[in-house]
């Protein structure tokens, strides 16, 4: 497999991003010598969600406003019900996701972050996985929902939940090596 060293991956987060997923994603990227950068609608910091309560606070590298897809090699949106709902309602976030896809760059979404892909109109005609609870949202958006740990359909990688992170990250690595 080609090296991923030096790649820049934007991690799109908001208050309530799933701490366990974000932590693993960042670690896996760092081990592959990929630079993970946190983008968020709020540019200073954000508090993660840890299981059933608020978790750690992380500094944000850049605000979504002003972020450009051409400055990154890929985009990953960690899960988290609260974060996904916040992100999908933000027009700048939706524009950024669309920009990544129109530039032919891989975009990954874990768990409820698939809502952001739906809002960006990126699910129609694709095979997608997600938590069972948003299966109907996927099908109503024109996607085909399947119950797999991770799905790579063209530029988009989706995963169900944190237990599927190894499969999700392997699919993201495959997408990054093509780019």
As annotated, the active-site residues are 112
| 151 beta partners | 158
* 63/96 Cα distance (integer angstroms): 11
Query: Which is nearest to 88 in space by CA: 70, 106, 55, 111?
Result: 111
CA distances from 29 to 88, 111, 139 (A): 24, 19, 31
Which residues, in sequence order, are CB contacts of 54 under 8 Å at separation 6+?
A: 47, 48
The dihedral built from the CA positions of residue 20, 54, 120 and 42, taken in this order, carries a sign that is: negative
Which residues, in sequence order, are CB contacts of 140 under 8 Å at separation 6+?
A: none
Q: φ, ψ for residue 128 (rounded to 5)? A: -140, 145
First to last CA, the chain: 13
């Amino acid at each position: 497999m080609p090296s991923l060293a030096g790649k820049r991956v934007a991690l799109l987060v908001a208050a309530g991003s799933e701490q366990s997923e974000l932590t693993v994603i960042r670690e896996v990227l760092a081990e592959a010598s990929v630079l993970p950068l946190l983008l968020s609608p709020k540019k200073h910091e954000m508090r993660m969600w840890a299981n059933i309560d608020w978790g750690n606070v992380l500094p944000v590298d850049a605000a979504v406003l002003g972020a450009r897809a051409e400055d990154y090699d890929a985009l990953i949106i960690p899960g988290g019900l609260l974060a996904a709902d916040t992100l999908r309602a933000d027009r700048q976030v939706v524009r950024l996701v669309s920009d990544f896809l129109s530039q032919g760059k891989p975009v990954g979404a874990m768990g409820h972050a698939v809502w952001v892909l739906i809002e960006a109109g990126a699910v129609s005609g694709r095979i997608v996985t997600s938590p069972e609870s948003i299966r109907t949202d996927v099908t109503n958006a024109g996607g085909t929902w399947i119950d797999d740990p991770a799905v790579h359909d063209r530029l988009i990688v989706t995963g169900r939940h944190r237990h599927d992170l190894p499969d999700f990250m392997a699919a993201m690595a495959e997408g990054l090596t093509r780019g």
